[in-house]
Amino acid sequence: MLRQLLIIALMVGPSPGALSAAQPEPNRRPLPAQTGPAARNGKPTPDALADLNKGFRDAYARSRAEVLASSGPVIVVEGDELVLLNSSKRSVAKVIPETYHSLKAVAHVPLAIYVMLAPATDGEINKQCRTALRSYKELIIPAANALKDRGLSDSTLKRQQEILTGSNQFLERVLESGKISQAELVVFTRRMAPLVLANATESARAQLDGLHKQMQAWKSALTTDEWKALHVVIMGSAAPRRGNVAVQYFSRLLGEKGEGERIIYAEALFDESRAVNLLGTRLLDVKIGSAFFGDRHRMDRDLLADTAEALLKNMPFDP
């Protein structure tokens, strides 16, 4: 919206000199009377400015598509997969192994127990909570048995059994007593924390190894110019954005400081076309920022940000 207001104002807003002129400027033809659906009986309809704004949006979408078409190869990180978009070719490779998901599922068990019990500390556990705890407890033993066929090393498998056994025994005590204190819950979570972090370490290694193996293969297939023009779009949710593993990996791979012109985090855009469009928006905004303000990154923040900051300093607020 703010981007649209800026462009419209700059495109159609008259200069101070034009506002004060009594006569039309020489050799300037007046704008023709409005015709078509936006006019009625020779007069503009209330939607005339909306039509003008729609014209901007259409022009922006076309320009974004053209910028994307000439931007070079794009890597899209989509869950377990990497997608390489290069010209009209789309290549897909799975880079996250099943081990990653096994370790994540087990690490979530203590977290699930915590979120179910946290509201019930220092009091009797109500019937609804007890039912939920029993149902979840019934899932633990089958999951522990399923781990034997997941190709885990002996040490990794032992750690998973320790997490699941400890969690199961803790739930048995809680269900038997019918209550839980905050102190008891903290003892459980602190005992589980090193095991959960060990799973996280192994998961990160598996993810990075998968990313690196595939990217080295694709790098060898790209020309030097294509590699220099490569952009990365990472689709993900809000919570893991800070310190995201894929952002860290591609920052190191491409020699970037993090998110920026070459590495885009498409937060909550779990659709490939929308995520890639975000890259196009960023690339086009760099051009807009440079053209209008001499600042490639000016459109990265709210167009009204600077003015709002100055106005807020002098705006009265109740103490």
Between residues 204 and 28, which one has the greater pLDDT? Answer: 204
Say whether both 109 and 199 belong to one domain.
Answer: yes
Say whether both 197 and 107 belong to one domain.
Answer: yes
What confidence tier does 8 reach under pLDDT thresholds 50, 70, 90?
very low
Say whether both 195 and 293 belong to one domain.
Answer: no
pLDDT tens across 279-311, in order? Answer: 999 999 999 999 999 999 999 999 999 999 999
Say whether both 235 and 283 belong to one domain.
Answer: yes
pLDDT tens across 39-94, in order? Answer: 556 666 678 999 999 999 999 999 999 999 999 999 999 999 999 999 989 999 99
Say whether both 90 and 234 belong to one domain.
Answer: yes
In a domain, 309, yes or no: no
In a domain, 71, yes or no: yes
Phi, then psi, of 92 in degrees rounded to 5: -125, 140
User: 75 with 232: CB under 8 angstroms?
Assistant: yes
In a domain, 220, yes or no: no
| 179-185-188-190 Cα dihedral, nearest 10 degrees | -170
Say whether both 106 and 153 belong to one domain.
Answer: yes
Residue type (1 letter), 63:
S
Single out the residue in 140, 170, 205 at which a domain terminates: 205
Beta strand segments in 54-169, E: 74-78, 81-86, 89-94, 123-124
Length of the chain: 319
Say whether both 107 and 193 belong to one domain.
Answer: yes
Q: What is the pLDDT of residue 42?
A: 60
In a domain, 40, yes or no: no
The count of structural domains within the chain is 2
Say whether both 175 and 127 belong to one domain.
Answer: yes
In a domain, 224, yes or no: no
In a domain, 142, yes or no: yes
Number of C-beta neighbours around residue 44 at 10 A: 13
Say whether both 234 and 89 belong to one domain.
Answer: yes
Over residues 241-245, the mean pLDDT reads: 95
Single out the residue in 139, 171, 205 at which a domain terminates: 205
Share of the chain above pLDDT 90, in %: 81
Q: What is the pLDDT of residue 278?
A: 96
Backbone dihedral region for residue 250 (phi beyond 0: left; psi -120 to 50: alpha; all else: beta)? alpha
In a domain, 29, yes or no: no
Q: How many CA atoms lie within 13 A of 197 on its CB side?
A: 6
Single out the residue in 189, 205, 221 at which a domain terminates: 205
In a domain, 36, yes or no: no
Give 289's contacts (C-beta < 8 A, 6+ positions apart).
295, 296, 297, 298, 299, 300
The tokens for 104 are 């994540």
Say whether both 241 and 200 belong to one domain.
Answer: no
Range of the domain at 186: 98-205
DSSP 8-state assignment for residue 34: P
